[in-house]
Amino acid sequence: MFESPGGAVAESLANPQPSGAPLTFLVASSQGDWLEVDLAQRPNGSTGWIKAGTVTLRSLVYSLQASTEQNTLTLLKNGTPVKTYAAATGTGGTPTPHGSFYITELLKPTNDGYGPYAFGLSAFSDVLSSFGGGPGQIGLHGTDDAASIGHAASHGCIRLSNADITELASLLPLGTPVVIG
C-alpha cells in the first residue's frame, strides 16, 4: 500500500488475513492506474493507494445501511431497499461507530454468543482498543441473546437474529459496503 499514487510504500499487508480470509478493500476512487482504497485499520476512515493491476476488481450489487437510532439493518440491491432487519447496536458507553465501512471477512465463530456467522467489518470501536482478545474490530453477527435484538445492547457490534445472519452470509460477498448512521 502506498501513501499516494507513485509515492512511498506506506505499509505491506498480509494476504490472506490472519483469519484466512483474502485481503479485501473497498475502492474509494481511482487515478490512472492507481486505486484509493478504504482500509480496515485505525483510525476509521483510513485510506491508501494500491496499483490497480495487482488486484482483482469485482462489481457489487448489494450494500447495507445500519441505523443505530432505529436498531435496524437494511439490505439494498443496486441502491434499492430490499429488506430491513431488526438489529442490536452499541450502548451509550460502547456505541457502534458511524461512517462508511465494508465487509472484510466471514467467519464461523466458535463462541455461541456470536451465532452461526460473523462478518468482520472495516470499522473499529471508538472507545474499546481491544475486545475479547481482538483489536476492537466491529462485527456483524448472530447472537445467543435473541431478546437483545431491536435494542442498544452490544459493545458496538451489530447483532442480528441467527436466521437473518445466516441469510446474509449466503448472499453478501466480501467488500460489501456498510454505512452506519
Instruction: Report the alpha-carbon distance of residue 170 to residue 168 in Å, rounded.
Output: 5
CATH number at residue 162: 2.40.440.10
157 has catalytic annotation: yes
pTM score above 0.85: yes
Across 42-87, the runs of DSSP E, i.e. the strands, are 47-51, 62-67, 72-77, 80-86
pLDDT digits (tens, 9 = 90+) for 81-127: 999 999 999 999 999 999 999 999 999 998 889 999 999 999 999 99
Q: How far apart are the first and last CA of the chain?
A: 28
134: in domain: yes
Q: Would you say residue 130 lies in a domain?
A: yes
The answer as to whether 85 is a domain residue is: yes
Catalytic annotation on 155? Answer: no
- Asked if residue 147 belongs to a domain, the reply is yes
Q: Which domain holds residue 93?
A: 62-180
Domain count, the chain: 1
- Is 146 among the domain residues? yes
Residues 29-81 have pLDDT tens digits of: 999 999 999 999 999 999 999 999 999 999 999 999 999 999 999 999 999 99
